[in-house]
Amino acid sequence: MTTIDLEREVSAVPAKTGAALIHDLLRHLPNAPGVYRMMDAKGSVLYVGKAKSLKKRVVTYTKPQGLPARLQRMVALTVAMEFVTTGSEVEALLLEANLIKRLRPTFNIVLRDDKSFPYLYLRWGHDFPMIGKHRGAKRDGADYFGPFASAGAVNETLNALLRAFPLRSCRDSIFDNRTRPCLQYQIKRCSAPCVGRIAKDDYARIVEDVRGFLGGATREVQAKLQAEMGQAAERLDFEKAAVLRDRLKAIAHIASKQGINTGAVEDADVIALHHDGGQVCVQAFFYRAGKNYGNRAYYPAHAKDSEPADVLAAFLAQFYSERLPPKLVLVGELPSELALLSEALSLKAGRKVEIREPKRGPLRDLVEIARRNAKEALARRLADQASQARLLEQLAERFDLDATPERVEVYDNSHIQGTNAVGSFIVAGPEGLDKKQYRTFTIKAPETGTSDDYAMMREVLTRRFTRLLKEDPERQSGTWPDLVLVDGGAGQLSSAQGVLDELGIEGVALIGVAKGPDRDAGRERFFRTGRDPVMLDARDPVLYLLQRWRDEAHRFAITKHRGKRTKAIGQSVLDTVPGIGGKRKKALLHHFGSARDVAAASLGDLEQVPGVSKAVARAIYDHFHEGSS
């Protein structure tokens, strides 16, 4: 790939923007495949596109009158463009999908998804292989089964699987140090190989059964277990027969919990969409080894004016940009540029990938199930948004706000006597809580008291709004709140108002939420600057909304505080000594027994530790004895 540097040409015509700018750039573009980016005056990417010929594709933007109104606006905002040539149009498609996911341009259809899928895995390299769940990059030395649509789906399958096949799910460090069976053995979800309750050969047979079951050989595994159960009964080994009977029951339970299973396909993703109310929902079902591994709904952004075929093409390109596609992808309708998309997915997977729209039969039934789920999920989403919008309108009425808030930020602090103090805020709007916008602040200003909640709130708000003023002084990005809620009464409200006054910020409404007497929910008082506090009716839906926001803010702050506290507990005073890594820390603790004894050790004793040179020993000694005579 080659980047075409047009910085000189762009700067040579600074007065030109939009179609005129694009026209001047045309003479430098080749008839070659590549990717282009259109940017506005702030340097933000407006659009990422790919082309078989950059020159022929970009020329269409020089005549904006023939474009839809949305693209006319995009062209008018363009002040710069960047171009990258690629070896083929397929490479351009893959690069375009990656850039769209990373940059999230304003005028592209964007798949709002940043989560990897969980898998089940069997890890080898041990006499007793372990089973567990995994998310992220796959590693050598393990068999992976999935993907599952959600953590809930993989957890449910793993729990049921352990009832049928009692393998260990503990880490090696735990396995190697057990002296008696753990709780998993007591509830019959592990065979306790750690303390010799099962022979290596018997455990290996269970592992093979698991591989067969997860690999799709369910009937073969069931037939094998049934035969073994019959043989055990003939030998009058009724205890063994009962174990195998329970294992067969658990396998049947797993199959029933997996919902819509099918014999029509082995490995396939089934994808269908539904659009309504200016929004689109895409449902993806995952089938592996004929089993349903769950489904997930997606709501691509900026898809309002796009055709379904274009939405599906953009979805598939971005969805598989970080995931390996299966051999077969069943769709409700064919995406645009089908041949190119199929070739790109095949290139990424290293094998042929077929995108097919089934017209009849059991495969069509699977697509219709996905389409129906997309329709129902979008209907629920639209209903929730309508309800949320009404609640925001009522909130504006209750507190006499100038306008219905589009973005609400709710602030809270968490600490224990000032230690590991954390400030945070959550974000809510017409579509509900936006967890990707949540933020935390480590309280670190020296002037902030160790347990002064007012000072903590001032620090958090000062840092938040100072950054907003720096990054978006014109309030164009949508990251400025219309309404700020702070957890506390008149004092916290006064602190928050003081910060906004000092920074010269206007147009941001403030509300303080004070807990009721004895912290009773439903008796909260709400404070606004220059007004008397008010209470809402205990059955007012707006009160429920505010309580949910406050509780979510409190939950988020507590979670982050606990994370910092847990991390701090695991730290040692040796971690603060420059030049002390894991190996030296281990050697020091092994030699002296504790970090306290290391701190009290003489220089000569420190020099006796293996792996600690005289210079390092001097650094350790000086660190703990600085200022001593």
Domain with residue 360: its CATH number is 3.30.420.10
pLDDT at residue 212, rounded to an integer: 81
pLDDT at residue 281, rounded to an integer: 94
Question: Diameter of the chain by CA atoms?
Answer: 93
Residue 14's pLDDT band, with cuts at 50, 70 and 90, is: very low
Query: When comparing pLDDT for 13 and 329, which is higher?
Result: 329
pLDDT at 350 over 80: yes
CA distances to 300, 319, 320, 332, 336 from 312, rounded to whole Å, are 10, 10, 12, 9, 8
Residues 560 and 516 in one domain: yes
Segment 462-501, tens digit of pLDDT: 999 999 998 888 887 788 999 999 988 888 899 899 999 9
pLDDT at residue 142, rounded to an integer: 87
Strands across the sheet with 279-288, in order?
291-298, 279-288, 268-276, 328-331, 354-356
Reference 401, options 529, 525, 539; nearest CA is: 529
Q: What percent of the chain has pLDDT over 90?
A: 33
Question: What contacts 493, CB < 8 A, 6 or more positions away?
Answer: 486, 510, 511, 512, 527, 528, 529
CA 489, CA 411: separation in Å to the nearest integer? 13
Of 135-139, 352-356, 516-520, the one with minimum mean pLDDT is 516-520
Residues 17 and 41 in one domain: yes
Q: To which residue do tokens 């709004």 refer?
A: 465
Residue 107's pLDDT band, with cuts at 50, 70 and 90, is: very high
Beta bridge partners of 110: 301
Inside any domain, residue 391: no
Domain encompassing residue 274: 268-379
Residue 8's pLDDT band, with cuts at 50, 70 and 90, is: very low
CA 11, CA 609: separation in Å to the nearest integer? 63
Segment 493-513, tens digit of pLDDT: 998 999 999 999 999 999 999
pLDDT at 10 over 50: no
Residues 557 and 441 in one domain: yes
pLDDT at 13 over 50: no
Sign of CA dihedral 304, 307, 311, 312: positive
Question: What contacts 327, CB < 8 A, 6 or more positions away?
Answer: 267, 268, 351, 352, 353, 354
pLDDT at residue 251, rounded to an integer: 74
- CB burial of 569-607 (b: ≥16 within 10 Å; e: otherwise) equals eeeeebeebeebeeebbeebbebbeebeebbebeeeebb
Q: Where are the alpha helices (DSSP H) in 431-573?
A: 453-471, 490-503, 541-569
Residues 454 and 544 in one domain: yes
pLDDT at residue 93, rounded to an integer: 93
Average pLDDT (355-376) is 93
Residues 185 and 316 in one domain: no
Identity of the amino acid at 46:
L
Segment 257-277, tens digit of pLDDT: 554 556 677 889 999 999 988
103-117, 231-245, 352-366, range with greatest mean pLDDT: 352-366
Sign of CA dihedral 413, 414, 416, 422: negative
Sign of CA dihedral 202, 218, 212, 181: negative
From the centroid of its chain, how far is CA 138?
Answer: 18
CA 221, CA 244: separation in Å to the nearest integer? 11
Inside any domain, residue 319: yes
Total number of domains in the chain: 5
Average pLDDT (150-175) is 84
- The CATH number that applies at residue 610 is 1.10.150.20
Angle, helices 200-214 vs 218-234, to 10°: value is 140
Reference 95, options 103, 86, 104; nearest CA is: 86
State the chain's mean pLDDT as an integer.
Answer: 84
pLDDT at residue 140, rounded to an integer: 83
pLDDT at residue 256, rounded to an integer: 61
pLDDT at residue 445, rounded to an integer: 59
Residues 495 and 616 in one domain: no
Residues 367 and 447 in one domain: no
Residues 544 and 433 in one domain: yes
Residues 152 and 231 in one domain: yes
Beta bridge partners of 427: 409
Q: What percent of the chain has pLDDT over 70?
A: 89
Residues 424 and 559 in one domain: yes
Residues 412 and 525 in one domain: yes
